[in-house]
Structure 1
């Protein structure tokens, strides 16, 4: 696992060594074990290395002595031993035991088709000096990130957007940020910085160095397709899922350094823990969090699973002091605003785990791949709700819901009821993002100043989802919703925070539930089969029924939800007063002070639960101060 970066220029103009050096410094945290730069005329490639496989011999960039081809690579290739044997059978001679060299050899032998043989998580770039081209690719699920920016005569890329700021500059992209205020994360094709975009998942690209201005020619080599497979008997599906999960975890335990688990007590992390314990035995350790707020604490479930599987469980109590320290470190690290407060405990858990291991297996991706979100059931109910008489649907029921008392309980009935009623006049696909989101477009006009909204050309944040849904091959609404969650929520929320927070602690996170073999099997399964018994993740529950405690299998979906509503009232109250003071807001000219002040007052007086939205605004403001204005964090003096 590493950070990679590079610069390509057209017309034979040489890359600038000082720019490459600045990019390397920005990505040091991703690879504290070593670094290297390859520069040859118009091409510069660099790497910062976290040594996991072949710790002694896997330094990068790797250069093939016969062809001169050079590679920088971020990720893990879980089938590299099989591919190594295949390449050796056709005469390839390896000099190291690293998977990076296998990726380079595969490219040299099979060209761009090499990615069709890979089972892993990766983003990499190869310079082919004979063809005078550069090749770039990213894994199918988008587990490993890659950002791009164009220059006058070429382009640059890096594992994190912050490494491109010396080239692209520090300008906010208000169109992208308009979307952030809806979703709570950046959409999969953009960044919050003007001129910086994301290289698409499951895609490859060539850059021709002979052109006056080197530009990307991008095309997909893999795309998700949900529910489009042939029918399968439930018993056979359970057996195949069990075998594939076992195989995926076995592959992803591959490492030359200590490996552990993130364990929350939820179904997905418990599933990974079961298969890892079966393969690895009691030598593997799990790591989890405990919250002082009992409404959000699931630590007892994690301990129950660990005891049941006979693995050693290490727990971090997330105290108010750690909350403050966590946000300070997140603010210094996170180069995108992020509306989900999970990043704070995740970073501190990653730092805690890094004291013991270098790699962790996690449960991310299970909800998107195996139909785990409660919203899938909610959409079925919503289709019935739309048939109610208008007096009930738009009058009596909303009036009753408005009278419900505000609760700090995670996913309280009041929160879910209010959320459910949003967007009943939209298409289901659009309503889904309104349910999952933060601010609607009308509220954003009251939240942002006219100077900012004037920079947003497309102000309907949900319009394109109707067109996307119409063009999808998926046969059912449930499959279309899962596809959209895979492309948006998984990429923008789950995988983004998984990569960014673990790598900030120099810890590698792996996601066996998104293993390529799992994707090829699970995505095409009919939605009804994944939700066997009519319950989210029903198929997974049947596969795990012989192996996990019944209480874990039957517990309602909760997710990893810190008490952000409580935090913004208490531990971060002074910080919000500082960030959103009238003087400060009016001087910056971005937010409307009266609107923000109303949100704060209603939340503090328990008239409404604005915990999520206030956190999203706080994250936006902290990001703007740190990465646009380049100011020191106000956390030390304000918190």
Structure 2
């Protein structure tokens, strides 16, 4: 796990100043505290910050072939590098190191761009081919590792693992993209096909981008995509056996490291499954860690302790207060773009705890997306069943009217908060699901935006992205389409961004075995009743893990990291909330109706409404504006 950056001149081979590349890598030094390197040649400069994981003495980067015709800077891990190396050696290739980085160079020389289809791992890399005078940018299948890029006025293309690596370049224009602000206000993060800074792009998950000097920049090419188009006809016992086999292989491959390795353990199904399979493979006690809270309703340490005892792990727990908002500025620094998933705070703390003893930690990310583990998947599945029973000509006017008339009662018990359910049942499935994954509804955003902001958006609506992804999904059923959209938008934009930035903030490599692409492809072939069964998601995974985990771990309600942001804005952060509509950076943009923002803060403080998540979004947007555009 590392940080990469570089410069490539698209038209002529102008000299690249090594100091400029070094400045870009210094901006992301936290990603690679163990070493730094810069290599330049006419028209190209590659930079690297290293977190040493494999071949500690011989894997320095940027790395070149012996004849210096190929050079690469690489962030991530190729888990099957040993098998690929063996295959390449049989074809006559000679290796000088024991690193996975060198496999990329020889793999490209042997197979060309097809080599990426052979790589099993998480990665973002840039490979310069001197003979072709080209730069090849590549990102892994699921988007675990990030890669930003932008063209600037001197005819060069800049790239870096994080936005801050680009921001230090003097030719990058710092102007906000208001469409990305709309996307952020809808979702709580800026999706992968957008960027907070106008003109900057992110290479998409499963994409490559080829740049050839003198020929400009072509469009990114997709080499892998998730599919729900096919169905397995195997029986349940055979599917369980295949699933465990795939999970076991994914966990084992991610346990290869030349540094101390451990796992995050929450006591939920996903992390407990990973720890169970790690313990099965490890000759010594697995190192695990858990963050607990001093509020009983938020604390999962008892469940984690049970799993730790069951598998005799070397377990550590740290209790923290959920009132950890002192991290706000540090979060803003590491995310660059505004990011409002408040679970980033406890994620940072668990990464910090893990890093005290290990350099690599396995997580349980990915199972909810693959096996329909979120509550919204169940609600979408049930909602589609209702839609299939009632004609749209009846359903839309009836439920639409109920949704408009039913009061919005944030303060009421959950069963009395039916307004959103009625509204969603009045919509088609894609529109309803797009609304369900959002943080601030479209109608609320329209009330908050100024007239000039609405005009600048020119009809751009964030939810349309989800609707398009579901409409175009390689899928058979509505649940497939919802999961596909989550994997394209939510997974890389929220979950993987959060894990990458928070782990890299402390120099920790996080690995996600449940995001193994073969495991994901298997999940995509499962019949719907193997994902959702009754009122339970992740059905097949839970059944398959019954031989490993207790029933009350497998079938207890999902919790996840919870932070009491609504309480914060009625207490310690009340002044921050009120200040957003005053002299803040956000207030000076002209994007928002400041009276509407002030009313939201006042209504929240009084308890009339729950606008905690909205206020958190606005606060993190304000902090990002201060950092990225110097509007503090």
Same fold (TM > 0.5): yes
In the alignment, which residue of structure 1 is the partner of 2:203? 199
SS in 2 for 1:37: strand
CA distance in 2: counterparts of 1:13 and 1:454, whole angstroms: 41
CA distance in 2: counterparts of 1:24 and 1:40, whole angstroms: 17
Match of 2:174 among 170, 176, 190: 170
Question: Does the aligned pair in 1 maintain the 2:270–2:367 contact within 8 Å?
Answer: yes
CA distance in 1: counterparts of 2:494 and 2:584, whole angstroms: 32
In the alignment, which residue of structure 1 is the partner of 2:271? 269
Question: Does the aligned pair in 2 maintain the 1:264–1:299 contact within 8 Å?
Answer: yes
In the alignment, which residue of structure 1 is the partner of 2:433? 432
In the alignment, which residue of structure 2 is the partner of 1:405? 411
Inter-CA distance 421–616: structure 2 relative to 1 (3 Å threshold): farther
Matches within 5 A, 1:29-428: 29-152=30-153, 153-165=155-167, 166=169, 167-211=171-215, 214-280=216-282, 282-319=284-321, 323-383=324-384, 385-386=386-387, 387=390, 393-394=399-400, 402=408, 405-406=411-412, 417-428=418-429
Shifted more, 431-440 versus 458-467: the winner is 458-467
CA distance in 2: counterparts of 1:20 and 1:273, whole angstroms: 40
Q: How many residues align?
A: 623
Question: Does the aligned pair in 1 maintain the 2:585–2:626 contact within 8 Å?
Answer: no
CA distance in 2: counterparts of 1:442 and 1:178, whole angstroms: 12
Shift of 1:309: 1.8
Shift of 1:333: 1.8
Shift of 1:527: 2.4
CA distance in 2: counterparts of 1:391 and 1:202, whole angstroms: 41
SS in 1 for 2:382: helix
Question: Does the aligned pair in 2 maintain the 1:12–1:210 contact within 8 Å?
Answer: no
Inter-CA distance 478–350: structure 2 relative to 1 (3 Å threshold): same
Shifted more, 118-127 versus 221-230: the winner is 221-230
SS in 2 for 1:454: helix
CA distance in 2: counterparts of 1:335 and 1:570, whole angstroms: 27
Question: Does the aligned pair in 2 maintain the 1:31–1:50 contact within 8 Å?
Answer: yes
In the alignment, which residue of structure 2 is the partner of 1:635? none
Question: Does the aligned pair in 2 maintain the 1:6–1:44 contact within 8 Å?
Answer: yes
Shift of 1:306: 1.5
CA distance in 2: counterparts of 1:418 and 1:257, whole angstroms: 52
Gaps of 5+ in 1: 632-639
SS in 2 for 1:313: strand
CA distance in 2: counterparts of 1:396 and 1:38, whole angstroms: 64
CA distance in 2: counterparts of 1:508 and 1:488, whole angstroms: 23
Matches within 5 A, 1:481-520: 481-520=482-521
Shift of 1:520: 3.0
TM-score norm. by structure 2 comes to 0.93
Shift of 1:31: 0.4
In the alignment, which residue of structure 2 is the partner of 1:634? none
CA distance in 2: counterparts of 1:527 and 1:343, whole angstroms: 31
CA distance in 1: counterparts of 2:419 and 2:97, whole angstroms: 58
Shift of 1:394: 4.8
Shifted more, 222-231 versus 368-377: the winner is 222-231
TM-score norm. by structure 1 comes to 0.92
Question: Does the aligned pair in 2 maintain the 1:474–1:480 contact within 8 Å?
Answer: yes
Question: Does the aligned pair in 2 maintain the 1:20–1:44 contact within 8 Å?
Answer: yes
CA RMSD of aligned residues (A): 2.3
Gaps of 5+ in 2: none
Shift of 1:392: 6.7
Inter-CA distance 96–590: structure 2 relative to 1 (3 Å threshold): same
CA distance in 2: counterparts of 1:530 and 1:390, whole angstroms: 28
Shift of 1:130: 1.3
Question: Does the aligned pair in 2 maintain the 1:155–1:215 contact within 8 Å?
Answer: no
Matches within 5 A, 1:550-569: 550-569=551-570
Shifted more, 372-381 versus 68-77: the winner is 372-381
Inter-CA distance 128–291: structure 2 relative to 1 (3 Å threshold): same
Shift of 1:296: 2.2
